[in-house]
Amino acid sequence: MILTALIFAQLGSVVFQTRAVPDTVYVGQQVTYEATTLVDDVARTRLRANPNYTPSDVAGATVYDFPFDMSRVDDATIGGTHYRRFVFRRALFPLAPGRLVIPPSTLQYTLPEVDGYFAPMRTTTVTSDSAVVVAVPLPVAGRPVGFAGAVGDLRDTLLLDTSGWRVGDPTTVTLRLTGVGNLKLLPRPELEIPWASVTNADERVSWDSTGTVVRGSKEFDWVVTPRLSGDLVFPLVRYDYFDPATRRYLTAVTPSIRISVMAVGATPAVAPPPRDSIGDSPFPFLGRLVQRNALVVGIAAVVVVLLIVGVFYVTRSTDDEED
């Protein structure tokens, strides 16, 4: 699965390599496909444009293309020759058991036929070999009854506002799954609430494309409309998945949450305004002013006292002189 293209020695060489790892995975587990371009020092000075890499279309898998990252460009020495290494990566998730064939990828680049700036150019297209990955079915032993096919390493969080619930008023509830795996195809879990009607709503996927593993989150929305009032319990939500790293089925569970649902026409209790902390002062504004500017008020009080004492002594001295 390694194919090398060499131009005349005096003009430099370009090496094109592809590989898929690992070559055996579970259905739904990530395969990383790497296409590596090695350019020696001579070719780098003569390339008039960046090589053009074209990945193949892959049937039978979900594909995530990682953007090319210049910060990951590094050096390699092969057979005593120094190369600059550029790697393009994509993640593949097989959808069914069996052989997954990854068709050839291509690399196109242009170098001069002879030395000299005005030399005629030669464009070369290099094609890699096909790659084959074997996807094995998920184990039957230990599979939960509610398992729907999720594969990866996942955690779940329930997002809801516990205030303002009322019979007949719809409210949006969200389950967020975070972790690694084929986020696009994570199935929606079942949500059953005895005291409310539940309607499936939006789904959103967000993934971090800066690494080499598909990692991120997927959110599922439901519109929940209560049918009953009272102090009720929003049930826990289970999400079963298979972790290929541990080869075990696991379950992420959100805790149950207590919710107070008001009857139709009921109004929420309004808390009384906070009492002013300066006792029963008839001037709450002055009380708040003192609270917020205690240091300034203290200094001002000291100054006032000093002024009063000063006036007292001046007045007394004047009276003594008159006597």
- Residue 209: left (phi > 0), alpha (psi -120 to 50), or beta? alpha
Residues 6 and 119 in one domain: yes
Count of residues making up the chain:
323
Binned at pLDDT 50, 70 and 90, residue 10 comes out as very low
Specify if 160 maps to a domain.
yes
Domain region containing 223: 153-262
Q: Which residues, including other chains, have CB under 8 Å from residue 131's CB and lie 6 or more apart?
A: 1, 18, 19, 20, 33, 101, 102
Cβ neighbour number for residue 319 with a 10 Å cutoff:
9
Residues 256 and 283 in one domain: no
Q: For residue 141, how far is the Cα from the chain centroid?
A: 32
Residues 127 and 252 in one domain: no
Count up the domains in the chain and report the number. Answer: 3
Cis peptide leading into residue 51 (ω within 30°): no
Residues 207 and 233 in one domain: yes
pLDDT at 77 over 80: yes
Among 67, 101, 136, the domain-final residue is 136
CB 206 within 8 A of CB 229: no
Residues 228 and 282 in one domain: no
pLDDT at 293 over 70: no
Residues 160 and 73 in one domain: no
Specify if 228 maps to a domain.
yes
Among 207, 239, 262, the domain-final residue is 262
CA distance 22 to 30: 9
CB 172 within 8 A of CB 222: yes
Specify if 8 maps to a domain.
yes
- Residue 135: left (phi > 0), alpha (psi -120 to 50), or beta? beta
Q: Enter the pTM of the model.
A: 0.76
Q: How does strand 230-234 pair with strand 257-262?
A: antiparallel
Cβ neighbour number for residue 107 with a 10 Å cutoff:
24
Which tens digit of pLDDT belongs to each residue from 228-287?
999 999 999 999 999 999 999 999 999 999 999 999 876 665 555 555 444 444 555 555
The reported pLDDT for the residue numbered 269 is 57
Q: What is the mean pLDDT of the chain?
A: 85
Residues 236 and 158 in one domain: yes
Cβ neighbour number for residue 159 with a 10 Å cutoff:
12
Residues 165 and 252 in one domain: yes
pLDDT at 79 over 90: no
Specify if 308 maps to a domain.
no
Specify if 319 maps to a domain.
no
Which tens digit of pLDDT belongs to each residue from 177-203?
999 999 999 999 999 999 999 999 999
Which tens digit of pLDDT belongs to each residue from 29-39?
999 999 999 99
Specify if 309 maps to a domain.
no
pLDDT at 291 over 70: no
Residues 25 and 98 in one domain: yes
Which tens digit of pLDDT belongs to each residue from 86-130?
999 999 999 999 999 999 999 998 887 766 666 778 888 999 999
C-alpha distances (whole Å) from 304 to each of 201, 286, 307, 308 are 67, 18, 5, 6
Specify if 123 maps to a domain.
yes
Residues 102 and 182 in one domain: no
CATH of the domain at 119: 2.60.40
Residues 237 and 119 in one domain: no
Dihedral pair phi/psi, residue 67, rounded to 5°:
-65, 150
Residues 250 and 296 in one domain: no
Specify if 142 maps to a domain.
no
